[in-house]
Structure 1
């Protein structure tokens, strides 16, 4: 019998977060993926450096998922074996998850967006991915309007007690 999945991923230390993703996209399915890193990349991430603001994930023809355009800066105390900051990094997922991603991207026109890079309770670096559909301009306006209204509601409720 399969064990139940937790509703929320256990994030002990969040390194990088893509905050614009929730504004720019409708997020549908969420995945937790391991990431294949070199030693200096792990050290750089543990110091809290890294950015996924303009990155995305793609499934190649071999059935592997890659994190593209994520910036993990060079480790400050690294030597000549330091890593390349913006290299594509392999994401580690189950075969069924990769197939689900591949069909959603090819048929439904969705994209794979990394939401955050974090370390879990076991100290492993993980990436939270989401299958997302892009928002149009009017959808973004609607999101901003809802967010402003919720902020005003909270302020009114605080004032009234």
Structure 2
């Protein structure tokens, strides 16, 4: 499950919390090559417009941008910064998420990339339901009201 102890956030998808209602969160590992790990540790990563897709009992993060590592970028000519990256999940977790996505029309999106307890790069994914436009406006109004109240005190 999602552990809040000793983590360094590398990137977060703040727009996801605005566009979606997050119903469930799950911590997963992610398969990266060596230079991608070095680039991610420098926070050269973006989760905007990324999504998790399922195929053949495997989960993949698509459209997740990891910039090429500066010191090695001259040697790698065919680097694809938005390639599919495999997620490390148990089959039961994959099947559970896949059935929820198929049945209820939900989607799975990456929320945050961080360094876990043992120095491994982890990805926090969320089962999400899209918000309607009027729900987004209500959320903004609530946030403004809370900000006003906080200023008064």
Q: If the length of structure 1 is used for normalisation, what is the TM-score?
A: 0.88
Which consecutive aligned stretches of 4+ in structure 1 deviate over 6 angstroms post-superposition?
Answer: none
> Which residue of structure 1 lines up, in the alignment, with residue 41 of structure 2?
46
Length, aligned pairs only: 151
Q: Which residue of 1 aligns with 2:69?
A: 75
**Who wins on radius of gyration, i.e. which is larger?**
1
Residues 41 and 83 in structure 1, CA contact (< 8 A), matched pair in contact too: no
Separation in 2, partners of 1:90, 1:108: 24
Q: Deviations for 1:82-141, whole angstroms, at most 9, x for unmatched residues?
A: 742110000001112111110111010000010111111211010000000000001101
Give 3-state SS (helix, strand or coil) of 1:80's partner.
coil
Instruction: Tell me which protein shows more strand as a share of its residues.
Output: 2
Which 5+ residue runs of structure 1 have no aligned equivalent?
A: none
Q: How well do the aligned residues superpose, as a CA RMSD in angstroms?
A: 1.5
- Distance in 1 between the 2:127 and 2:79 partners? 29
Structure 2 distance, partners of 1:82, 1:9, is: 37
* 1:1-161 alignment runs, 5 A limit: 5=1, 8-10=3-5, 12-60=7-55, 62-78=56-72, 79-80=75-76, 83-156=79-152, 158=153
C-alpha displacement of 1:10: 3.5
